[in-house]
Amino acid sequence: MQRFAGRSVVVIVALVLGGAAAGLARASVDEIKGALLQPSALPAILGPITDLGRNGWDCAPERAAQAKSAGHAELPSDPGR
Amino acid sequence: MAPGRAGLALLALGAALLGAVAGARAQAYPDVRPVPKTTDPAALRATATAREIHERFHIGLAAMTRSDWPAAQAEFARVLDLHPPEPMGSTAHYDLGIVDVNQHDYTAARTEFAAAIKLDDGFIAARANLVTVELKAGDLPAARKSAAELLARAPGSARGLYLDGLAALQAGDAASAARAFGTMLSHDPSYATAHYDLALAEIQLGRMDEAERELQAALTLAPAYERARFALGTVLLKTGRRDEARTAFEQVARSAQDPELQSLAASMKDALSH
């Protein structure tokens, strides 16, 4: 998800290099939006649970699934954080 | 009987009773687990099955720890053959779903997470994993439906909102994506990635000022977030600020770790320099 698809890169580089400077802004930004501004990565699957781990709902995957804070939800780390 | 002797007898009886109570306290034994003593075949079979379920869970989880997925799969499949009671049944389906994901069998994983949810409607971790697998499989309608069901049972779940937002973004429903990421940030504004995704939704909605604000917030929280800086460059370009856009692309070209992003940013910078 985070990585560009090779085809997208080729398309956009061609657009950028082929576009006249004056017409570049409006001509290619829409293409960039569609092809390159990809959403962030999917989170990793929540981990396994033991046979007794969900008694009382006190287990890490269940807590992470219900957490309201991103920091406790086992989401992808912020780049550069 | 004389009154004095009767009083003495009562005192003696009271003392005896107190002694008996004290003695009972002194002789309190620690709890001892009762040893099952039965010759009933059904009861013996149930005891053996419960023990096998517990042991196979243990062995299956150990196999997962060493990434031995086929071994783990065999253990959880056997657990399910034994028809364990709740919460072990839904947990076995859940663990088997994780094994399937690691073997890239998303169809099987979806079946297992769905089975876990069928056994336990409130199993939110299983619901979250189901949405993730549906997104991995590229089934956006299913992912959006599952995300909505998750959020109906766990409103405010950051993971649920994140997955819901990603599914909406990928489906081109920018308004729903903006709502999901906006709600998520209202609970925890410190997550730079959600600011970035919200900015993508705002770009799709044509709200460039809001997009720029979110990207600036992402970069304030995570200054090395070069993908956000690249997105900011496109917003600046879109709003006619070519010099600022070029500066943004220049910085991405200089600092990005991803060689493709770096190369593309360099191309953008060069094109804007002409």
Chain B positions in Cβ-Cβ contact with residue A32 (cut-off 8 Å): 234
Separation of alpha carbons B186 and A69, rounded Å: 10
Q: How confident is the model at residue A32 (pLDDT cuts 50, 70, 90)?
A: low
User: pTM of the predicted model, to two decimals?
Assistant: 0.80
Mutate to test the interface with A, among B113, B159, B196, B234 (most CBs of A within 10 A): B159
pLDDT in tens, B160-188: 999 999 999 999 999 999 999 999 999 99
Q: Tell me how far CA of residue B182 lies from CA of A77, B200, B202, B215, B229, in angstroms.
A: 18, 12, 11, 13, 20
Q: How confident is the model at residue A25 (pLDDT cuts 50, 70, 90)?
A: very low
The CATH number that domain B209-274 falls under is 1.25.40
Contact (CB<8Å) A49/B267:
no
Least-confidence region, from A6-20, B105-119, B167-181, B225-239: A6-20
Least-confidence region, from A59-63, B24-28, B123-127: B24-28
Q: Which residue of A has its CA nearest to B87?
A: A54
Chain B positions in Cβ-Cβ contact with residue A50 (cut-off 8 Å): 57-58, 61, 91
Q: How confident is the model at residue B263 (pLDDT cuts 50, 70, 90)?
A: confident
> Closest partner residue to A51 among B54, B192, B231, by Cβ?
B54
From B167, B221, B174, select the one nearest B193 (Cα to Cα): B221
Does the interface ipTM go beyond 0.85? no
Query: Residue for token digits 């004389």?
Result: B2
Least-confidence region, from B35-44, B83-92, B105-114, B185-194: B35-44
DSSP class of A69 = S
Q: Does residue B228 surpass a pLDDT of 80?
A: yes
Query: Residue for token digits 């089934």?
Result: B139
How large is the average pLDDT for residues B218-242?
A: 95
- The mean pLDDT value of chain B amounts to 90
Separation of alpha carbons A23 and B184, rounded Å: 38
More confident call, B140 vs A38: B140
Q: How confident is the model at residue A22 (pLDDT cuts 50, 70, 90)?
A: very low
pLDDT in tens, B236-245: 999 999 999 9
DSSP class of A68 = S
Contact (CB<8Å) A75/B226:
no
Confidence (pLDDT) at B141: 98
Confidence (pLDDT) at B8: 57
Separation of alpha carbons B274 and B264, rounded Å: 16
Break chain A into its structural domains and give their ranges. Answer: 6-36, 44-75
Alpha-helical regions (H) of chain B: 3-26, 41-65, 69-81, 88-102, 106-119, 124-136, 140-153, 158-171, 174-187, 192-204, 208-221, 226-238, 242-255, 259-273
> Closest partner residue to B169 among A39, A47, A80, by Cβ?
A39
Q: How confident is the model at residue B261 (pLDDT cuts 50, 70, 90)?
A: confident
Tokens, residue B272: 């804007």
Chain A positions in Cβ-Cβ contact with residue B221 (cut-off 8 Å): 78, 81
> Closest partner residue to B91 among A43, A54, A73, by Cβ?
A54
Q: Does residue A56 surpass a pLDDT of 80?
A: no
Confidence (pLDDT) at B255: 93
More confident call, A52 vs A71: A71
CB A1 within 8 A of CB A38: yes
Confidence (pLDDT) at B34: 62
B220: how many CB neighbours lie within 10 A of its CB? Answer: 11
3 state SS for B129-181: HHHHHHHHCCCHHHHHHHHHHHHHHCCCCHHHHHHHHHHHHHHCCHHHHHHHH
How large is the average pLDDT for residues B182-206?
A: 97
Q: Which residue of B has its CA nearest to A30?
A: B238
Confidence (pLDDT) at A3: 44
